[in-house]
Amino acid sequence: MIIKSHHDRVVKPNMEDYQQMYSRFSWDAAMDKLDMLPNGNGLNIAHEAVDRHVAGARRDHLAIRWLGKSGEVRDYTYTQLRGLTNHFANILQALGIGRGDHVFTLLGRLPELYITALGTLKNGSVFCPLFSAFGPEPILSRMTIGEAKVLVTTESLYRRKIAPIRESLPFLEHVILVGENHMHTSVPGTLDYHSLIYEASGQFIIPPTDPEDVALLHFTSGTTGKPKGAVHVHNAVVAHHVTGELALDLQDGDIYWCTADPGWVTGTSYGIIAPLTNGVTMIVDEAEFDTERWYRILQDQKVSVWYTAPTAIRMLMKAGADMARQYDLSSLRFLASVGEPLNPEAVIWSNEVFGTPFHDNWWQTETGGIMIANYASMDVRPGSMGRPLPGITASIVRKLDDDRIEEITEPGVQGELALRPGWPSMFRTYLNEPIRYHKCFADGWYLTGDLAKQGEDGYFWFVGRKDDVIKTSGHLIGPFEVESVLLAHPAVAEAGVIGKPDPVAMEIVKAFVSLKDGFEPGEELMLELLGFARSRLGAAVAPKEIAFVPSLPRTRSGKIMRRLLKARELGLPEGDLSTLENE
């Protein structure tokens, strides 16, 4: 067991013995950690996140500290958050928005976003966040699929992105505008958020909520085709709460910062719900990534638990360890990462710079919550996803010709990662696409579409998405393994790997590399990198070609878009670019 010293106090992990917890865990017992609605009226996410704390010792505890990009700070206690979310729930009721109606947000990380999310859930309506950097087309497709009835956005976003498409949104009944700097807005055909909040009552009784009532709609893009709307229910809060406790080790007194935007599932599950159900103080930063600003927040806000993305970690690495050492980061006790696999080099670096490693974990929009993780009480295997959450059965499988599933029990053999269904945050369907949903399941397993392998010690290792795996000269190669080795070279800031068609080998491995400051692309460096990779991976796995690029195409949630690298390399159609960063 690993025990961290934190501010002169000993902090024991919530889960001290993984095997013991895994063997005795039950989801029914996990639900008992929550209060449920009064008088047997069911289970509601917003009640568990806010209202139940107001009835106890945390009523005056700081729930959210919002840091404006211009220096403004706004604090919200659990009691204040209950009042504001009650106001918004009453607004929805007054507008005739009820159970199951879809309320969309198109907002940056503003306090109103968090109030809207929780007020919507109180009302029994469905919260559907959109990323504020989306352009009109991806907004239109998602709001059309989701039959949006209400949209909460800002005046500037409305004028630029919604006004041009509003006539194409027949289901949209109300647009509520959040004024910048509390300014009231007067745009024809819209309502003013602050006026509505002021006029609405702060008293609200959450209506009976069945645990299977729909609560959240998160969109996820496939490699082709239109976005998929993953449907989650109020029962998901059981998984959000327990993963916050076990996988993120949230404890009383923690200051927690999840850097993900609520436009993505991480920013909702672990940027709103899990920290609040666990009663901690969460930091919300309005501004975009900036190395010095991030270090200053970690220092000044005394952040103790930090959940971020591999892309951001690599950007911090690129800025160098000397910058980190200019700040007092001694409050940090637990670091976690999600979004794409975390390369071993980043784990080693964080251990050296912060004195503690990043704990990678794995999950998907469809799983709703963390499924596999490196835990506070266990040794981190750099590059590993970790071990399954208590209550989750995971296995490496292969699909047979008759659609039966065979488990691969031999350690180190790659196959598809599969999970036994039944955890509370499992998605219930793809909205209006039951066939697409049922294709995700076979022979009693949820098939994740990710290739992985499992070691003798029970740790899982990510190989790649099924569509990304490279077949060369009879070998199956996961791009992540090759990228991780390239990232270990001191010149490499980022790497993306694809399979390039070859008449002899079927495919060859081609790598796209962006360099750290101070390094210049050229023949000499290319040969050095090829030799570096070959010496570590072997001739069969190492890249045969390397191209230097200024940056890699990524989704706004930080994942390398390998399919886009491949499409551009081969001159193929680029497909859906709605989630592409800076597009």
Average pLDDT for residues 100-128, to the nearest whole number?
A: 97
Length of the chain: 583
From 118, 129, 117, 126, select the one nearest 99 (Cα to Cα). Answer: 126
Query: What is the reported pLDDT for 182?
Result: 64
Task: Output DSSP code: residue 309.
Answer: -
Q: Which two tokens stand for residue 280?
A: 């901690």
List the domains of the chain with CATH numbers.
4-453 (3.40.50.12780), 468-570 (3.30.300.30)
Q: What is the number of other CB atoms lying within 10 angstroms of the CB of residue 400?
A: 11
Q: Where do the H-state alpha helices sit in 501-561?
A: 523-537
Using the predicted structure, report yes or no on whether residue 40 has a pLDDT greater than 50: yes
Residue at token pair 């750290």:
516
DSSP-assigned states of every residue in 197-227: HHHS-S---PPPB-TTSEEEEEEE--SSSS-
Each residue of 275-307: pLDDT tens digit? 999 999 999 999 999 999 999 999 999 999 999
Q: Coil, strand or helix: which one is 9?
A: strand
Q: Which two tokens stand for residue 118?
A: 């929780």
DSSP-assigned states of every residue in 234-266: TTHHHHHHHHHHHTS---TT-EEEE-S-TTSHH
Q: What is the number of other CB atoms lying within 10 angstroms of the CB of residue 23?
A: 9
Average pLDDT for residues 210-236, to the nearest whole number?
A: 87
Using the predicted structure, report yes or no on whether residue 2 has a pLDDT greater than 60: no
Query: What is the reported pLDDT for 227?
Result: 82
Return d(Cα 196, Cα 68) in angstroms, integer.
23
Residue at token pair 């010496």:
535
Q: Which two tokens stand for residue 153?
A: 């956005």
Each residue of 357-406: pLDDT tens digit? 999 999 999 999 999 999 999 999 999 999 999 999 999 999 888 789 99
Residue at token pair 């005056």:
60
Return d(Cα 36, Cα 278) in angstroms, integer.
14
The confidence band for 475, taking pLDDT boundaries of 50, 70 and 90, is: low
Return d(Cα 549, Cα 511) in angstroms, integer.
10
Query: What is the reported pLDDT for 273?
Result: 98
Query: What is the reported pLDDT for 186?
Result: 79
List CB contacts of 324: < 8 A, sequence separation 6 or more. 295, 316, 353, 354
Using the predicted structure, report yes or no on whether residue 249 has a pLDDT greater than 60: yes
Query: What is the reported pLDDT for 574?
Result: 64
The confidence band for 1, taking pLDDT boundaries of 50, 70 and 90, is: very low
Average pLDDT for residues 444-449, to the nearest whole number?
A: 95
Percentages helix, strand, coil for the chain, rounded to the nearest 5?
A: 30, 25, 45
Residue at token pair 């800025």:
319
Return d(Cα 552, Cα 371) in angstroms, integer.
28
pTM, whole model, 2 decimals? 0.85
Average pLDDT for residues 90-96, to the nearest whole number?
A: 98
Q: Where do the H-state alpha helices sit in 389-507?
A: 434-438, 479-487
- Burial class of residue 32, CB neighbours in 10 A (0-12, 13-18, 19+): exposed
Query: What is the reported pLDDT for 264?
Result: 85
Residue at token pair 């990323």:
131
Query: What is the reported pLDDT for 542?
Result: 84
The confidence band for 193, taking pLDDT boundaries of 50, 70 and 90, is: very high
Average pLDDT for residues 515-522, to the nearest whole number?
A: 92
Average pLDDT for residues 479-483, to the nearest whole number?
A: 81
Query: What is the reported pLDDT for 583?
Result: 47
Average pLDDT for residues 447-476, to the nearest whole number?
A: 83
Using the predicted structure, report yes or no on whether residue 238 has a pLDDT greater than 50: yes
Enclosing H/E stretch for 353: helix 344-354
Query: What is the reported pLDDT for 578?
Result: 62
**In percent, how much of the chain has pLDDT > 90?**
73
From 128, 37, 124, 49, select the one nearest 81 (Cα to Cα). Answer: 49
Average pLDDT for residues 327-344, to the nearest whole number?
A: 92
491 versus 563: the higher-pLDDT residue is: 491
Query: What is the reported pLDDT for 223?
Result: 47
**In percent, how much of the chain has pLDDT > 70?**
92
Each residue of 125-168: pLDDT tens digit? 999 999 887 778 788 888 999 999 999 999 999 999 999 999 99
Using the predicted structure, report yes or no on whether residue 185 has a pLDDT greater than 60: yes
Beta bridge partners, 66, equal: 74, 284
Enclosing H/E stretch for 153: strand 150-154
The confidence band for 534, taking pLDDT boundaries of 50, 70 and 90, is: confident
Q: What is the number of other CB atoms lying within 10 angstroms of the CB of residue 500?
A: 18
Enclosing H/E stretch for 307: strand 305-308
Beta bridge partners, 548, equal: 513
Contact 212, 233 (CB under 8 A): yes
Contact 432, 438 (CB under 8 A): no
Using the predicted structure, report yes or no on whether residue 263 has a pLDDT greater than 90: no
Average pLDDT for residues 30-41, to the nearest whole number?
A: 96
Return d(Cα 119, Cα 413) in angstroms, integer.
47
Query: What is the reported pLDDT for 554?
Result: 80
From 96, 88, 135, 132, select the one nearest 112 (Cα to Cα). Answer: 88
